[in-house]
Structure 1
Amino acid sequence: MEAVRNAAAVASSLRLTRTKPPPHPTLTSPKCFCLRKEDAFGNPSSETSLPKLEGHQTDVFEVEELETNDDDIWKLFAHAQRNILYLNKQRLTAMEELKKVQEERDLLLEKIEQLEAQKQTGAQTEPVASSSFADLLLRIDSMVISGMIGSGEASSLRKKVMDSRSQINDAFCEIRHKTDMELLSELRLFTEKMTQNPLHIVHICSEMDPISSCGSLASYVTGLSCALQRKGDLVEVILPKYSNINLDAIQGLRRIDAEFDSYFGGHWHKNRVWIGVTRGISVTLIEPLNYSTFFNRDRLYGYSDDFERFSYFSRASMDYLVKSGKQPDILHIHNWETAIVGPLFWDIFVHQGLGATRVLLTCHDITSQCLEQPSKLELCGLDPHRLNRPDRFQDNTKMNLVNVLKGGIVYSNKVVMVSTIHSRDSLIHSLNHGLEPTLAIHKEKLLVAPYGFDGDKWDPSKDKYLPRNYSAYDIEGKAACKVALRNRLKFSGYSSVVVGCIYSSCTFDVSTFDVDMDNLKAAVRYAMNKGAQVVLVFMESETPVMNSLMKALQNELKDANVRFIEKYDDALAHLILAGSDIFLCSSFHDPWLQMPLKAVKYGSAPISLNLASDGFRQFKVRDSRGSSQSEYLRQSGWGDCGSTAASQYLLSTYGNMSIGQALDEINTEPSRWAWRIKDGMSKDFSWDAECCDIHRAAYTFIKNL
Structure 2
Amino acid sequence: MAACGAAAAEYSALLSLPCGPITRRRFAVSCRARPPGNLREMAWKRDDRICEAYFACKGAKESDVMETFLKLTKQVGGLADVVTGLGKALQTKGHLVEIVLPKYDCMQLDQITNLKVLDVVIQSYFDGNLFSNNVWTGTVEGLPVYFIEPQHPSKFFWRAQYYGEHDDFKCYSYFSRAALELLYQSGKKIDIIHCHDWQTAFVAPLYWDIYATRGFSSARICFTCHNFEYQGTAPAPDLSYCGLDVEQLDRPDRMQDNAHGRINVAKGGIVYSNIVTTVSPTYALEVRSEGGRGLQDTLKMHSRKFVGILNGIDTGTWNPSTDRFLAVQYSATDLQGKAANKAFLRKQLGLYSEDASQPLVACITRLVPQKGLHLIRHAIYKTAELEGQFVLLGSSPVPHIQREFEGVADQFQKNNNIRLILKYDEALSHCIYAASDMFIIPSMFEPCGLTQMIAMRYGSVPIVRQTGGLCDSVFDFDDETIPVELRNGFTFARTDEQDLSSCLERAFSYYSRKPMVWKQLVQKDMQIDFSWDSPASQYENLYQSAVAQARGAAQT
TM-score range relative to shorter protein: 0.7 to 0.9
Q: Which position in structure 1 is the counterpart of 2:72?
A: 208
Is 1:380 the equivalent of 2:242? yes
Distance 1:220 1:498 in 2: 31
RMSD: 3.3
Deviations 1:240-273 (A, max 9, x none): 2223233333222222222222222233332221
Q: Which position in structure 2 is the counterpart of 1:444?
A: 304
- Report if aligned partners of 1:607, 1:658 keep a CA contact under 8 Å in 2: yes
- Report if aligned partners of 2:372, 2:443 keep a CA contact under 8 Å in 1: no
Deviations 1:657-687 (A, max 9, x none): 712111211233334323322222111223x
Classify 1:292/1:536 alpha carbon distance in 2 versus 1 (closer, same or farther; 3 Å): same
Distance 2:476 2:446 in 1: 24
Is 1:526 the equivalent of 2:385? yes
Q: Which position in structure 2 is the counterpart of 1:457?
A: 317
Q: Which position in structure 1 is the counterpart of 2:394?
A: 539
Is 1:670 the equivalent of 2:522? no
Deviations 1:49-83 (A, max 9, x none): xxxxxxxxxxxxxxxxxxxxxxxxxxxxxxxxxxx
- Report if aligned partners of 1:507, 1:592 keep a CA contact under 8 Å in 2: no
Distance 1:653 1:588 in 2: 18
- Report if aligned partners of 2:197, 2:227 keep a CA contact under 8 Å in 1: yes
Q: Which position in structure 2 is the counterpart of 1:123?
A: none
Deviations 1:105-129 (A, max 9, x none): xxxxxxxxxxxxxxxxxxxxxxxxx
Classify 1:261/1:222 alpha carbon distance in 2 versus 1 (closer, same or farther; 3 Å): same
- Match of residue 599, structure 1, among 455, 463, 476: 455
Q: Which position in structure 1 is the counterpart of 2:144?
A: 282
Q: CA deviation at 1:414?
A: 0.8
Q: CA deviation at 1:590?
A: 6.3
Q: Which position in structure 2 is the counterpart of 1:254?
A: 116
Letter of the aligned partner of 1:587 in structure 2? Answer: S
Deviations 1:446-503 (A, max 9, x none): 1212333321121122223334433334444434434444455462411423213134
Q: CA deviation at 1:234?
A: 1.0
Classify 1:466/1:224 alpha carbon distance in 2 versus 1 (closer, same or farther; 3 Å): same
- Match of residue 255, structure 2, among 384, 393, 399: 393
Aligned counterparts, 1:51-450, within 5 A: 200-205=65-70, 207-209=71-73, 215-291=77-153, 293-399=155-261, 401-419=262-280, 422-450=282-310
Deviations 1:284-305 (A, max 9, x none): 1222224452222233333333
Deviations 1:398-451 (A, max 9, x none): 34x2221111101001111124x8342212113011111100011121121233
Distance 2:302 2:312 in 1: 26
- Match of residue 493, structure 1, among 338, 354, 358: 354
Distance 1:361 1:510 in 2: 23
Q: Mean alpha-carbon deviation: is it higher for 451-460 or for 330-339? A: 451-460
Classify 1:584/1:382 alpha carbon distance in 2 versus 1 (closer, same or farther; 3 Å): closer
- Report if aligned partners of 2:87, 2:143 keep a CA contact under 8 Å in 1: yes
Question: What is the aligned residue count?
Answer: 473
Classify 1:267/1:653 alpha carbon distance in 2 versus 1 (closer, same or farther; 3 Å): same
- Report if aligned partners of 2:368, 2:396 keep a CA contact under 8 Å in 1: no
Q: CA deviation at 1:238?
A: 1.2
When normalised by structure 2's length, the TM-score is 0.76
- Report if aligned partners of 1:360, 1:416 keep a CA contact under 8 Å in 2: yes
Letter of the aligned partner of 1:362 in structure 2? Answer: T
- Report if aligned partners of 1:508, 1:587 keep a CA contact under 8 Å in 2: no
Distance 2:435 2:372 in 1: 29
Is 1:660 the equivalent of 2:505? yes
Classify 1:491/1:200 alpha carbon distance in 2 versus 1 (closer, same or farther; 3 Å): farther
Classify 1:423/1:366 alpha carbon distance in 2 versus 1 (closer, same or farther; 3 Å): closer
Deviations 1:566-586 (A, max 9, x none): 565544433332232222334
Deviations 1:508-554 (A, max 9, x none): 417953x13542233222331xxx3x141333444443333223323
SS of equivalent to 1:393? coil
Q: CA deviation at 1:597?
A: 1.4
Q: Which position in structure 1 is the counterpart of 2:431?
A: 575
Letter of the aligned partner of 2:105 in structure 1? Answer: S
- Report if aligned partners of 2:271, 2:302 keep a CA contact under 8 Å in 1: yes
Aligned counterparts, 1:25-40, within 5 A: none
Is 1:552 the equivalent of 2:395? no
SS of equivalent to 2:523? helix
Classify 1:320/1:229 alpha carbon distance in 2 versus 1 (closer, same or farther; 3 Å): same
Classify 1:588/1:574 alpha carbon distance in 2 versus 1 (closer, same or farther; 3 Å): farther
Distance 2:396 2:293 in 1: 27
Q: Which position in structure 1 is the counterpart of 2:478?
A: 624
Greater relative contact order structure (CA < 8 Å, 6+ sep): 2
Distance 1:423 1:451 in 2: 12
- Higher CA-based Rg: 1
When normalised by structure 1's length, the TM-score is 0.61
Distance 2:76 2:526 in 1: 30
Letter of the aligned partner of 1:678 in structure 2? Answer: Q
Which 5+ residue runs of structure 2 have no aligned equivalent? 1-56, 468-474, 493-501, 550-556
Letter of the aligned partner of 1:684 in structure 2? Answer: D
SS of equivalent to 1:655? strand
Distance 2:115 2:103 in 1: 12
- Report if aligned partners of 2:90, 2:536 keep a CA contact under 8 Å in 1: yes
Distance 1:363 1:436 in 2: 13
- Report if aligned partners of 1:374, 1:384 keep a CA contact under 8 Å in 2: yes
- Report if aligned partners of 1:450, 1:690 keep a CA contact under 8 Å in 2: no
SS of equivalent to 1:201? coil
SS of equivalent to 1:332? strand
Q: CA deviation at 1:564?
A: 4.6
- Report if aligned partners of 1:322, 1:352 keep a CA contact under 8 Å in 2: no
Distance 2:372 2:434 in 1: 29
SS of equivalent to 1:704? helix
Distance 1:697 1:679 in 2: 29
Q: Which position in structure 2 is the counterpart of 1:692?
A: 536
Which 5+ residue runs of structure 1 have no aligned equivalent? 1-192, 613-620, 631-647
Distance 2:353 2:461 in 1: 24
Distance 1:570 1:585 in 2: 18
Distance 1:649 1:313 in 2: 43
Deviations 1:154-181 (A, max 9, x none): xxxxxxxxxxxxxxxxxxxxxxxxxxxx
Q: Which position in structure 2 is the counterpart of 1:66?
A: none
Distance 1:623 1:229 in 2: 36
Distance 2:260 2:406 in 1: 42
Letter of the aligned partner of 2:401 in structure 1? Answer: M
Letter of the aligned partner of 2:543 in structure 1? Answer: Y
Deviations 1:191-246 (A, max 9, x none): xx9999996432324x3145xx6643333222221222222211111112223233
Classify 1:481/1:246 alpha carbon distance in 2 versus 1 (closer, same or farther; 3 Å): closer
Letter of the aligned partner of 1:654 in structure 2? Answer: F
Larger helix proportion, structure 1 or 2? 1
Classify 1:473/1:224 alpha carbon distance in 2 versus 1 (closer, same or farther; 3 Å): same
Distance 2:445 2:486 in 1: 13
Distance 1:375 1:567 in 2: 39
